[in-house]
Amino acid sequence: MALLAMLPAGCTPSATVSAPTPAPAMSSVPAGCDLTRAGVQWSGVTQESVLEHASLFTTDAMREGTEVLDAPVTAAVAGVTVPDGWLRLLATDLGNKIGVGVHTTRPSRSYKMNFGTWGLNDPEITEIIVYAGVRRISAVFPVGCAPAVSGTLTAWTETKTGGLTCGDPAPPTDPYTRAAREYCPHTSPSR
């Protein structure tokens, strides 16, 4: 069986076929590089309060909440493959630089979501949001190995749990509660 390709008059087949450019290979920390001796310089430190979990409850079904957000922050290093143990060492070094503990591990749901007590509410709005969040931190680092490598650490500096009634007319005062209020299907106008 023969396969015949027909080209319109005046067209010739291309002599080269272009392939997608391969992604650059991720660098790795050179063997034998000791983080504590090589030295780390930090830059581009950013922090942001983010919700990881949020559940919606109604006052008539308090035991049966619906999870409306499940986006846990995972501690990681991007841009370079690091040896086991470096994630914790980098977090400790960054924490020493900024004067606040930087965390990379925690037991699953170590900060249990729980209900609190609330003040005045719109009786027509029966929904409650219970949430858990972290203060996510990211920072760029080079390590003075030979050759030098660099990457970005992501971890967190605090965990926070709380709750709010969607019918509370008072505007939320902290970033976690403001973010959680976005998951309320109904809200009371702010005072």
pLDDT digit string (tens) for the chain, length 191 residues = 333 333 344 443 333 344 444 434 458 999 889 988 988 999 999 999 999 999 999 877 667 789 999 999 999 999 999 998 999 999 999 999 999 999 998 755 545 555 555 555 788 888 999 999 999 999 999 999 889 899 999 999 999 999 999 998 888 889 999 999 999 998 877 65
The whole-angstrom separation of Cα 103 and Cα 95 is 9
Q: What is the pTM of this model?
A: 0.76
Cβ–Cβ under 8 Å, residues 107 and 27: no
